[in-house]
Amino acid sequence: MTTIDLSEVTSADLEAVSQISREADVDPDDCYQCGKCTAGCPMAHEMDLVPRQIIRSLQLGLYRRVLTAKSPWVCAQCQVCSVRCPQEVRIAELMLAVRHAAKREGLRPVRETDIFDDIFVSNIRSQGRNNEVFLAAFYNLQSGHLVQDVANVPAMVARGMIGPRINHVKDKAAVRRIVDKVLKKGSSGSSDSLDTPSSPSSSVAPSSPSSPGQRDGDAQ
Ligand code: SF4
Ligand code: SF4
């Protein structure tokens, strides 16, 4: 069992956790640690902190712990956890907000996920839609996994799943505007809606963990 010293949690950590909460528009304090999210998570076996532990760590203000965790980068954003939660805690959004926070601080605990995401988004931004061939080629080059999935290529070509033809969308500029708006939201940590300009009163109140020393329970 890992021992956690809550006296090391600073006010800056608490504010940073509150920012994650605001960006996700989710209050971790709504969680009562039943574990249903973790029981249904298809990626839990790959995580260093399972979803329930990520939430508990956020409740306790353990900012550095969640920021360096692999879990948010392994999360497939499948939403199973959010659907299963009896408290309607949208864990997937929290996972994403943690990733954004880590990126803002120059951290990427799972390098491959970051590389894949960047190429995927760049692909959508420039072409209006994803191109599997470009995605795979650039990912393999940048990640150094040069022959990853190469053995599957002949079968994918034969089934028409991939090919040299690029299907352009009609209005690439519109897609680019949407992507840029989403990227701006992620890089700023804003909880603004994409469609509705925010007003200060529309923000969800930040999670305000009380003094770390007053919190009981573990983050295990
Ligand atoms: S399912 Fe919801 S209440 Fe239960 S541990 Fe997960 S986040 Fe907390
Ligand atoms: S969204 Fe992420 S954390 Fe939630 S169940 Fe899916 S993989 Fe697990």
CA-nearest residue, atom 6 of ligand 2: 78
Total count of residues recorded for the chain: 220
pLDDT single digits (tens) 108-118: 999 999 999 99
**What is the structure's pLDDT at 103?**
92
Ligand nearest to the CA of 74: 2
- From 52, 81, 88, give the residue whose CB has the most ligand 2 atoms within 8 Å, as the site to mutate: 81
The pLDDT tens digits for 62-105 are 999 999 999 999 999 999 999 999 999 999 999 999 999 999 99
Structure tokens at 7: 């006296």
Closest ligand, as measured to the CA of 217:
1
Helices 51-59 and 91-104: angle between axes, nearest 10 degrees: 70
* 9-108 classified as CATH 1.10.1060: yes
DSSP string over 179-201: HHHHHHHHHHT----SSS---GG
Q: With a cut of 50, say whether residue 210 has pLDDT above it.
A: no
**Over residues 28-49, mean pLDDT:** 97
Q: Locate the domains of the chain by residue range.
A: 9-108, 111-188
Q: How far is the CA of 36 from the centre of ligand 1 (A)?
A: 6
Q: Report pLDDT for 204.
A: 33
Q: Is 58 in the pocket of ligand 2 (CB under 6 A)?
A: no
Give, in degrees to the nearest 5, the angle at Cα 82 between 27 and 206: 10
CA 7 – ligand 2 centroid, Å: 30
Instruction: Point out the ligand nearest to the CA of residue 31.
Output: 1
Q: Whose CA is nearest to atom 2 of ligand 2?
A: 75
State the pLDDT at residue 50. Answer: 97
C-alpha 37/C-alpha 79 separation (Å) is 9
Q: Considering the entire predicted model, what is its pTM?
A: 0.77
- At residue 58, the pLDDT reads 97
Q: What average pLDDT is seen over the chain?
A: 84
Q: Whose CA is closest to 81, among 66, 70, 94, 69?
A: 94
Give the tens place of pLDDT for each residue, 114-167. Answer: 999 999 999 899 888 888 888 888 999 999 999 888 888 889 888 887 777 767
Please give the distance, rounded to the nearest whole angstrom, from the Cα atom of residue 72 to the centre of ligand 2: 9
Answer positive or negative: Cα dihedral of 174, 175, 180, 185. Answer: positive
49 lines ligand 2 (CB under 6 A): no
Q: Which two tokens stand for residue 189?
A: 């940590």
Identify the pLDDT of residue 15: 97
Distance between CA 55 and CA 25 in Å, rounded? 14
- Across the range 44-63, mean pLDDT stands at 97
Task: Indicate which residue's Cα is closest to atom 7 of ligand 1.
Answer: 31
